Amino acid sequence: MIDIMKTKHDQILFMVFFFLSTIVSVQEYRGQVIGDNNAGIGFAHVFFQNDQSRGSTSNEIGEFAIYVTEANKGDSLVISVLGYKTKFIPYAEIEEHNNIIKLNSSALLLNEITTTSDSYFKSIIKEAIAKIPENYPVEKHLQKAYYQNYTISDTSYSEMIEADFQLISNGYQHDKLKEEVYLNQLRRTEDNRNLPAMLRHNRNGIFITLFKNRVYHRSLSKWGFKKDLNTIDEFISSVDDIGSLLFHSQSIQDGDTILTIKVSDPLLKINNSSPLYTFLSINLRDKAIVKMVFGDPWSEKKDFEEVVYRKIHDRYYPAYMRRVSNFEFDKKTKKHYTSHCILFYDLVTGKQNIKACKKGKKMKIERGLRQIKMNLDNSFWENYPYSNQLSATSILRSKLNHYK
């Protein structure tokens, strides 16, 4: 009996030692992704080749951080973003890059597009929708994520909200879509938005941003005039309502051809001036929608919404979502800019694994982040790799320069 107890005691000590040594061995790597012009590339996917369920996404100016375990040190770091050639860097050689990773633009293959009619593009979109059960997760899964919301009101920084949360989804093929959000950590500044009362809403930014995943909600509508579609067949039929389709671009990504189609509907206009555009990027080999943009992300004066997917173990999961609102008020004498961004950094699959995953407080859609009371855990944020004060300051400084 004593020998058995001693054996169990030794096993427990070994497990504790192994756990502690694993924690100690985890390091953090920070870098910046830049392009041919040496400017930062925002929202690039950063992950390890043999550990793809974990990863990171660069922020708006190309900065990123990622956890590195002992196992990762023998792996290769992968940096991938649409429009650029994917880079594979053995982690053993990472120091040679001096924390700067440069990507080269993908070559366009314009000559391969031989048919550019609306019927051709509609057939591509319909096939991509039909393949949702093959290309996207059909079983319950959990994603860990970082949420950031910052606001600039009338040429000055006014508010920052950050949160770490978990999203549980029941799969893209279900007729009844279900999302659960569990809040782990939250921190925010004082609300100094210089807005009139009628413009100061307290809606939950996490839920509103998550709703922009139109593949999950089966809708190509920017404004949501139509209710979410209940079946894949209804989603396919809705493509026939599209006004017109235009070729936008084509590039190579990891050996696959990515076709981006520009969807315009003359019935939807902003201030009766210009048509509203939707950009659909489709992987022609998998027939999967890998990026969807509503609005004009290249303009400093317009709103837009964006969701981008990353392939993990033969399924496409959202890598990041963001929405930007930019408007003028008080007889157009004052400006207001707000950015909401969700970066997904870890994936958990399997019912038992999801059940065992420690979850925070379940959130309600009607309760805004400014109304939630949660004690600030400084130690959590000090060691949190997906947010740091330098990055936030750099982003805000960059945005404020556009307003001065």
Query: Nearest CA to 347 among 197, 166, 213, 174?
Result: 166
pLDDT at 402 over 90: no
What is the CATH class of 2-102?
mainly beta
Residue 14: other Cβ atoms inside 10 A: 10
Q: What is the DSSP letter of 6?
A: H
Lowest mean pLDDT segment, chosen from 176-180, 195-199, 247-251: 195-199
Contact (Cβ atoms closer than 8 angstroms) between residue 360 and residue 182: yes
pLDDT at 1 over 50: no
pLDDT, tens digit, 9 for 90 and up, residues 144-154: 999 999 888 77
Confidence of residue 348 (pLDDT cuts 50, 70, 90): very high
With a CB cutoff of 8 Å and minimum separation 6, the contacts of 97 are 31, 89
Average pLDDT over residues 152-170: 85
Helix (H/G/I), strand (E/B), else coil: 281: strand
Q: Which pLDDT tens digit goes with each residue over 202-239?
A: 789 999 999 888 888 888 766 544 455 668 898 898 88
Average pLDDT, the chain: 81
Predicted confidence (pLDDT) per residue in 234-255, tens digit: 889 888 888 788 888 888 888 8
User: What pLDDT is stored for residue 392 in this prediction?
Assistant: 58
Give residue 275's pLDDT: 60
In the three-class reduction of DSSP (H, G, I as helix; E, B as strand; rest coil), residue 39 is classed as coil
Residue for token pair 């792996």: 75
> Taking the CB of residue 149, how many other CB atoms lie within 10 A of it?
21
The SS3 of residue 309 is: strand
CB 89 within 8 A of CB 73: no
Question: Which secondary-structure segment (H or E) carries 390?
Answer: helix 389-403
pLDDT at 311: 93
Task: Look up residue 344 and give its two tokens.
Answer: 């997904």
What DSSP element (H or E) covers 244?
A: strand 244-253
- Identify the helix (H) or strand (E) that includes residue 100: strand 100-102
Q: Global pTM?
A: 0.84
Residue 18's pLDDT band (boundaries 50, 70, 90)?
very low
Choose among 81, 156, 120, 107: nearest CA to 400: 156
Residue that has been written with the tokens 């210009």 in this structure: 274
The answer to whether 265 and 276 have CB atoms below 8 angstroms apart is yes
- What are the pLDDT digits (tens) for 72-105? 999 999 999 988 999 999 999 999 999 999 999 8
% of residues, the chain, pLDDT over 90:
40
What residue spans define the domains of the chain?
2-102, 110-403
According to the model, what pLDDT value does residue 8 have? 43
pLDDT in tens, 99-135: 999 999 886 655 555 556 888 999 999 999 999 999 9
pLDDT higher than 50, residue 2: no
pLDDT bracket for residue 11 (50, 70, 90):
very low
The pLDDT tens digits of the residues spanning 33-72 come to: 999 889 999 899 999 999 998 888 998 889 998 989 999 9
CA dist 147 and 163 (Å) reads 5
pLDDT at 177: 81
239-296: per-residue pLDDT in tens? Answer: 888 878 888 888 888 888 899 998 875 445 444 455 677 889 999 999 999 999 887 6
pLDDT-derived band at 321 (thresholds 50, 70, 90) equals: very high
Residue-level pLDDT at 376: 87
